[in-house]
Amino acid sequence: MSRVVITGGAGFVGSHLCDRFLADGYEVVCVDNLITGSLDNIRHLQNNPQFQYLHTDICEALNIEGEVDAVLNFASPASPIDFTRIPLEIMDTGSRGTRNALELARTKGARFVQASTSEVYGDPLVHPQTESYLGNVNCIGIRGVYDEAKRFSEAMTMAYRRQYQLETRIVRIFNTYGERMKLDDGRALPNFGTQALRGDPITVYGDGSQTRSFTYVSDLVEGIVRLLHSDCSEPINIGNPDEVDLLTVAKEVQQLTQSNSEIVFRDLPPGDPKVRKPDISRAQAILNWTPTIQRAEGLRRTLADFARRMKQDDESVA
């Protein structure tokens, strides 16, 4: 392989994928319409002759000139704030957008990687979550637009594999964090981090006993790269099985930022999953992959990035 197309390449995870493939010697075509991505995430790549950015909506025809060896479909709004702000765009991206990306891979004879999510398991009744678990998703709930869009994209990916013998891969991504997360993302870590750094109350929903499994972004990227080069056509969990409750994370952020912010509690949003923990046996056996970055180190790097960008934002306003 020498040339990859990364849809959603100006997003949080997508931009880190661009970095990795360029570092590995690939030519990278980054496709993004910036509905949730940002040029700031790829600005450091603009003078790299191996990098090309296309401002394109994948829900429209996806035309890429030249040879393509792999298509990585990471285009999708994924923040909780987007579920009510742009629900139809989320569903369009998961359906029409996924098909356009698959068509690009089919016409180019390229390998295809679909970014899915632990949200396909919904509010799980099986713990930890294995790839064989079919999920407990509320299709008419607020989160349903994202959950069902990803479930549909998985079904579409497998349909292309069966009908066209397309080389496909599906990665189910668990909670991921790191540099370049949107500061107004609406998820737990950006909320905790920005609130603590500003000295605002740190908002914990419910009693904070709901759990998550946080994966640092470089670990996720490593798993995705290994999956691309593997022979695994079934969905595969990439996540950190180090499960932790959100109240503990809020306290860790409070301590790492040396913040005087108090922790306050608010009502739990409807449909918020109570537990989340991946079974990564398949990733360990097939990809020889296990996360390596401990949460304390990942949080330190992430919070430093938050502080730097918040300072830049404050200076630009001033």
Tens of pLDDT, residue by residue over 80-114, are 999 999 999 999 999 999 999 999 999 999 999 99
The answer to whether the bond into 87 is cis (omega within 30° of 0) is no
Residues of the chain above pLDDT 70, percent: 99
Phi, psi at residue 116, to the nearest 5°? -110, -160
The per-residue pLDDT for 44 is 98
> Which run of H or of E encompasses 54?
strand 51-55
Which class for 297: exposed (0-12), middle (13-18), buried (19 or more C-beta within 10 A)?
A: exposed
For the record, the structure tokens of 124 come out as 């799980």
Average pLDDT score over residue span 224-229 = 98
CATH of the domain at 211: 3.40.50.720
Domain boundaries, position 78: 3-317
The per-residue pLDDT for 115 is 98
Residue type, position 267, single letter: D
Q: Which of 116, 129, 142, 80 is nearest to 276 (CA)?
A: 129
For the record, the structure tokens of 221 come out as 């990227």
Average pLDDT score over residue span 133-157 = 97
199 pLDDT higher than 90: yes
For the record, the structure tokens of 304 come out as 């430093």
267 pLDDT higher than 80: yes
The per-residue pLDDT for 61 is 83
Active site amino acids: 146
**Which of 291 and 186 is assigned the larger pLDDT?**
291
**Distance between CA atoms of 22 and 42, rounded to whole angstroms?**
12
Residue type, position 34, single letter: L
The per-residue pLDDT for 128 is 98
Give the torsion sign (CA, 43, 44, 47, 53): negative
Residue type, position 261, single letter: S
**Distance between CA atoms of 193 and 199, rounded to whole angstroms?**
10
Q: Which of 8, 42, 4 is nearest to 26 (CA)?
A: 4
Report pLDDT digits (tens) over 111-123. 999 999 999 999 9
The per-residue pLDDT for 316 is 80
Q: Which of 289, 232, 285, 278 is nearest to 130 (CA)?
A: 278
318 pLDDT higher than 70: no
Q: Which of 306, 204, 201, 285 is nearest to 246 (CA)?
A: 204
Question: 172 near 117, Cβ under 8 Å?
Answer: yes
DSSP string, 9-62: TTSHHHHHHHHHHHHTT-EEEEEE--SS--GGGTGGGTT-TTEEEEE--TTS--
The per-residue pLDDT for 271 is 87
**Distance between CA atoms of 4 and 26, rounded to whole angstroms?**
7
Q: Is the pTM of this model over 0.95?
A: yes
18, β-bridge pairs = none
- How many domains does one find in the chain? 1
| Sequence-ordered list of residues with C-beta below 8 angstroms from that of 155, at least 6 positions apart, any chain | none
Cα 193 to Cα 80, 132, 230, 258: the distances in Å are: 16, 34, 36, 11
260 pLDDT higher than 90: yes
If one counts every other C-beta atom within 10 angstroms of the C-beta of residue 198, the result is 13
Report pLDDT digits (tens) over 21-60. 999 999 999 999 999 999 999 999 999 999 999 999 999 9
Which class for 94: exposed (0-12), middle (13-18), buried (19 or more C-beta within 10 A)?
A: buried
Report pLDDT digits (tens) over 19-31. 999 999 999 999 9
If one counts every other C-beta atom within 10 angstroms of the C-beta of residue 162, the result is 10
Q: Which of 70, 31, 75 is nearest to 54 (CA)?
A: 31
